[in-house]
Amino acid sequence: MSTDDISTLPQGDLRLLDHEVARRLLASAIPARLAYVAADGTPRVVPTWFRWTGTEVVMPTFVTAPHVRRAAQRLAALRARPDVAVSIDTEAFPSETLSIRGRVEITEVDGVDPDFADAARQYMGEEAAADYLAGVDSPGTRMARIAVRPAWVGLVDFATRMPQIMAP
């Protein structure tokens, strides 16, 4: 599919993940924003490190570790209501926004999740990530691998993909 064909895909089409803007945002060190419904029924948005695996947005979080007082409260809420939205967007004008909707799957793993280690390198660089990971990878560390397989994709870059309300 050519770049022109990708630019004309409708919002919601999973092939938008192949657009150059989507690929750049998925490879960036911009925190993803995870939107979900909390246990009390109110909406929440949390910024989080993420790693794009080519099929999933993975956002691991600690369950237990020496530096963790308690597991992230979002885990129970995500298990109860797994439908979520994820946004990765820039602050510069014109902004670029990748929106993904899907359902989370949570898998708990002993030790540091490999996707978390990859995300640490993505956000911190090799040297700083190695130091950080050495400090958190200790006996008793357990992580929850929160993965979202896209079911709907939206992309706006204000150059080739305008919001539908503004499109000619």
User: pLDDT, tens digit, for every residue of 12-26?
Assistant: 999 999 999 999 999
> At 168, is the pLDDT very low, low, confident or very high (cuts 50, 70, 90)?
very low
User: CA torsion 114→118→120→125, rounded to 10°?
Assistant: 140
Q: How far is CA 14 from CA 10, 34, 39, 113, in A?
A: 9, 18, 29, 26
Confidence class of residue 88 from pLDDT cuts 50, 70 and 90? very high
Mean pLDDT computed over 137-163: 86
